Copies of this chain bind each other. A is one copy, B any other.
């Protein structure tokens, strides 16, 4: 594999495990067996490296979502598969979502990186919202749902669920969250007034 690709991959792993500020060029260099100066050749500053990670993750996510849309037609199944992406990321070695990690250190992260993270986040929310609308059209999902709110809740809960799953090294924390999320959108109930 090309050195630059190796650098990005290892840096991404560090971002997912300890965050952007808790690893150094030295950490990466030692893992690959090169010197920090070589990393600076590929990525002049840490901001460049962060941006490369953002681009890589957004590309990979877009590909994964495209694959879901190509192989599954049912809105419910699409949503479940989407949730599965987050579960899969956590499963690949107790890793958090790299975009969530970058979003947390916001104030100490380059502006362009922040923008990329926001695009990723909003992209997920919008995709879920669109899928919810499709499910409402087929009658699979509750008609009284606000797609925007559901999209935002799905992404928020999946990201937060990963934090919990990692803190407890407990897969069921992700699974429980996904079950309740899926349950919250499915039809099969009369839409009535609340008694709360």
Report B-chain residues with C-beta under 8 Å of the C-beta of A167: 103, 106, 114, 117-118, 121
- A68 close to B (CB within 8 Å): no
Choose the segment among A2-10, A57-65, A153-161 that binds chain B (4+ C-beta atoms closer than 8 Å): A153-161
Number of interface residues of A (CB under 8 A): 66
CB-CB nearest in chain B for A151: B176
Which of B117, B122, B195 makes the CB contact (< 8 A) with A188?
B195
Report B-chain residues with C-beta under 8 Å of the C-beta of A194: 76, 183, 186-188
Instruction: Decide if B196 touches A192 in the complex (CB within 8 Å).
Output: no
Interface centre among A140, A145, A180 (most CB of B within 10 A): A180
Interface centre among A153, A166, A168, A176 (most CB of B within 10 A): A153
A23 to chain B: closest CB distance in Å? 8
Q: How far is the CA of A141 from the CA of B183 in the complex (A)?
A: 14
* With known contacts A19-B21, A103-B166, A189–B186 Cβ distance under 8 A: no
CB-CB nearest in chain B for A182: B196
Instruction: Decide if A156 touches B155 in the complex (CB within 8 Å).
Output: no
